[in-house]
Amino acid sequence: MSDFFARFGQKAKVEAEVIKQQQTKRGLSIKSEAQDKGIRLLRLRADLQNAIENENYSLADELRHQVSKLEADSLAPSI
């Protein structure tokens, strides 16, 4: 009978560790997504600045819309 409880306890420990690793992985994934958005935002802003300097206002307008959308998406609560 004590073997049963020992195995049951070990299984619970393994399951708890798996859950912990999944949560950590999910957290890293969210951080990675946030970093990707940040990098994309920096690139869009640099492209926007270049478009303005080159007086390409139609491109600048499109880039401004992309920046605004990305910023809004970043501020929206994630579920």
pLDDT in tens, 21-74: 777 666 666 678 888 888 999 999 999 999 999 999 999 999 999 999 998 887
Which whole number is the average pLDDT over 6-18?
70
User: What are the φ and ψ backbone dihedral angles of 77, each rounded to 5 degrees?
Assistant: -65, 135
More confident: 4 or 24: 24
Query: Is the pLDDT assigned to residue 77 strictly greater than 80?
Result: no
For residues 30 and 4, the answer to whether their CB atoms sit within 8 Å is no
pLDDT at 2: 55
Task: Characterise 55 by phi-psi region: left (phi > 0), alpha (psi -120 to 50), beta (else).
Answer: left
User: What are the φ and ψ backbone dihedral angles of 9, each rounded to 5 degrees?
Assistant: -65, -40
